[in-house]
Amino acid sequence: MKAKKNISTGFFAFTYFALSMHSGLSFADDTEIYLTRDLPADQRVRPNILFVIDTSGSMQSGVPGTNCKSLVVPYASVPRDNCTSTTMPLNKNNGTLTRMQVVKQVVNQLVDELAISNDSNIGLARFDSNNNGGFINVPIAQAGTVAANFKNQLTSYYASGGTPLLESYHEAARYMRGETPLYGNNSRGLIQNGTGSTTI
């Protein structure tokens, strides 16, 4: 009786194990992420990626561990804008890269990779310098087509102002849904020109 019970238990355990292995193998291939086939060009859908860059004043802070090769200490302050005479002192950050510099480096490298593969659409948005929400700087287009303009715009960004997170993401969501801008028509941001000064 005991031997019969052991054989019966062994048979059911083996059957359960065999069925569980079989069902696991059949389900893995049902999900497309496990397939390595390449879709025909007419069936591919390029993802839309909108980069929303933080251009608030805190992006002038240094990033520990990112020491610059050389440190240039300026003798003057940069005008905050062309409408007032107030100035904003430059931040030398004790020889470290600023958050903005790190963002520019990383995003530019990523854009280069996306432009080479050219299988996605990219666009660029930024914060408004006066907390009035964000705005779209580079409309979404195929990465290979828009990469040069994207990188030029990103390189010109200057960190100044507040952090209108909600307004900027709301504007980005409206853009992605094809709705009209809420803040974008009146938003402004500071940029760097060739001489290092800023303008609106």
Q: What is the pLDDT of residue 76?
A: 46
* Element of type H or E holding 6: helix 2-28
Q: Which residue ranges make up each domain of the chain?
A: 2-34, 46-199
User: Do the beta carbons of residue 130 and residue 84 sit within 8 Å?
Assistant: no
Q: Please, what's the largest Cα pairwise distance for the chain?
A: 100
Listed residue (184, 180, 100, 109) closest to 150, CA to CA: 109
145-170 confidence digits (pLDDT tens): 999 999 999 999 988 888 888 888 98
Q: What is the pLDDT of residue 132?
A: 74
Range with lowest mean pLDDT among 10-19, 109-118, 170-179: 10-19
The size of the chain, in residues, is 200
Average pLDDT of the segment spanning 113-118: 94
CATH match of 46-199 with 3.10.350: no
pTM over 0.85, yes/no: no
41-82 confidence digits (pLDDT tens): 666 788 999 999 999 989 988 888 776 554 444 444 444 444
- Running DSSP on this structure, what letter comes out for residue 183? S
Q: What is the pLDDT of residue 80?
A: 44
The residue type of 93 is N
Q: What is the pLDDT of residue 135?
A: 85
More reliable by pLDDT, 55 or 36:
55
